[in-house]
Amino acid sequence: MYHYKPIDGYFGDPIPFFWDGIYHIFYLKAPLEPKRHGANFTPYAHISTRDFIHWKEHPIAIRPSDDGPDAISCWTGCIVEKDGAFYLFYTGHNTNDPNIPQSICLATSKDLDHWEKYPHNPISTPDPKIFNIHHWRDPFVFWSEKENCYLMSITTIRKDGGFWKGGALAIARSKDLLNWKPGEIFYNPGNHGYPECSDIFKIGNYWYLVCSIFDKTCYRIGETPLGPWRVGKTDSFDGVMNYAAKTISDGKNRYILGWIRTKENRKDEGKWEWAGHLSFPRQLVQDEDGTLYAKLPDQFNQLKGKQYFDFENDKDFKPIFGNWSNNQNGLKTDSELIYGEVVFPENYEQFDATFEFKTMNETKCVGIIFQANPEDDFPGYEIAIDLKHQMLIFRKHTKRFEYYTFQNISTHQKEPLHLRVIVEKGIIEAFLNNKFSISSSFYTFSKNSNISFFVEEGSVILKKVKIYELENSENLKPSVTQNPPVQRTKSLSNT
């Protein structure tokens, strides 16, 4: 399975760390049912990879301690290296302690596999006069050349702002990673609750703040590591089904990874559950004004297995709604359609497909349909590109005013569009123009389903369609290190 999930649990909150040519992903491991309950009872699990496709499982790094500040759970944090030692900063969660239910804790290691908790945990607690003591978590530590010390970003809530307006990030400072001096609030926009799982880094001339605000992983752009912050042409990396994403850099590229939620009772209409599967990484691409876009890394092209269908060579497709004509430019709708659809042959349960097309006449919406099965009276799912409202949408087909998840996009009419859709049983990931992405879980399956392309209220020229079998991951050879080993990561901000 490409979307990693431990056999005996669920994947939540990645804590990525690059070292010596290897991408290490620590994560919060939620237990299986019936013990599964939100983010409670979570230890730090550990996997590693050289290519984000083949994963090695490591021993559990840390677990909750019955008599410690992390008695209920070990929550999100980060890892830094200093003088040959690794420092894991994490959240101690202990609702049994009414005075310090959340605090910042520390564990250390020499090899990333064997960890010892700091005997003087916790190393940081909130000032109850200023902060809500139930929210002091998600430490992110990095070195500041300007201040010549380490900075720690901490998720919290200002007492005078309340739950919905007081969500903030506070800063703390240290010279030795052990003794921390609390400092000022550096992010408090006032328009949402707590900003979880913060991540701060620099690409080129711009600094970035990444955090998750209940529904999505968002980012802001700044001139310094502590802001002030502004919004680019995009402000997030995916929809609501991909959460708590954090970044990792190998010194050449920076990637962002989150987790794709499962749903209650394994039904599309079920409530979101905490944790699920690891998402595909997105490689971050920077625009000249600082805006970040997200593309699927090139090594994921090897997911394409046997070719099922190629529009340039196979003509065994069938228009089922609207008027279509095939010419040297591609498959074209003859006139503006209220709705047009063309279906491709074969049955596709899992696939990797690409579509290249161009819209005309102020087209409202285009996209693909999969898992439709008339025999089961199920209309299927769709990835829709809503050009009118500038949204990339995943929803049940025919549910025009509902969606499971969406992502805002920026395109313009007559711009060539390239859509790649990868479906692994139960999970979909879609990528538009190597800029925008969306992912989700889904729970209706059929082996007897086709793939269709559709257009609504407009016209389109469909130029290319290539549909591949999703290659068995066991057939793929592990990648060798593509970047020189990094010997030191004292400053995690440089890329």
State mean pLDDT over 296-302.
95
Asked if the model's pLDDT at residue 359 lies above 80, the reply is: yes
Distance (Å, whole) CA 436 – CA 410: 9
Segment 471-483 shows an average pLDDT of: 69
Residue, of 485 and 307, whose pLDDT is higher:
307
pLDDT > 90 in the chain, percent:
82
Is 424 in contact with 342 (CB distance < 8 Å)?
Answer: no
Three-state secondary-structure class, residue 412:
coil
CB neighbourhood size of 324 (10 A): 21
Express each pLDDT in 208-246 by its tens digit.
999 998 789 999 999 999 999 999 999 999 999 999 999
Contact 195, 212 (CB under 8 A): yes
Q: Give the per-residue pLDDT at 493.
A: 33
Kindly tell me the burial class for residue 188, based on how many C-beta atoms sit within 10 Å of its own C-beta (0-12, 13-18, 19 or more): middle
- pLDDT recorded at residue 488: 31
Query: For residue 490, what pLDDT band results from cuts at 50, 70 and 90?
Result: very low
* Residue 495 confidence (pLDDT): 31
Separation between Cα atoms, residue 345 and residue 351, nearest integer Å: 13
The predicted model scores a pTM of: 0.94
**CA angle centred on 425, ends 423 and 427, rounded to 5°:** 60
How many of the other CB atoms lie within 10 Å of CB of 246? Answer: 25
Q: pLDDT at residue 89 above 70?
A: yes
Please report which confidence band the pLDDT of residue 267 belongs to, taking 50, 70 and 90 as the band edges: very high
* Lookup result for tokens 């079998």: 469
Confidence tier at 172 by pLDDT (50, 70, 90)? very high
Q: How high is the pLDDT of residue 489?
A: 34
Q: Choose between 361 and 197: higher pLDDT.
A: 197
pLDDT greater at residue 375 or residue 26: 26
Percentages of the chain per state (helix, strand, coil), in multiples of 5:
5, 55, 45
pLDDT in tens, 302-345: 999 999 999 888 888 999 999 999 888 899 998 788 999 999 98
Angle (CA) 74 75 76, round 5°: 135
- pLDDT higher than 50, residue 454: yes
pLDDT digits (tens, 9 = 90+) for 369-400: 999 877 778 899 999 999 999 999 999 999 98
Residue 452 has pLDDT above 50, yes or no: yes
- Spell out where 188-336 has E strands: 196-203, 206-213, 216-222, 229-230, 242-249, 254-263, 272-278, 282-286, 292-295, 304-310, 318-321, 324-327, 330-333
Confidence of residue 162 (pLDDT cuts 50, 70, 90): confident
Q: What is the pLDDT of residue 356?
A: 97
Distances (CA, A) of 291 to 287, 294, 473: 5, 10, 33
Tokens of 480: 């060798």
Task: Kindly give the residue spans of alpha helices, DSSP state H, lying in 213-300.
Answer: none
pLDDT band at 479 (very low <50, low <70, confident <90, very high): low
- Going from the N-terminus, what domains does the chain have, and what CATH number goes with each? 9-294 (2.115.10.20), 301-471 (2.60.120.560)
* Per-chain mean pLDDT for the chain: 92
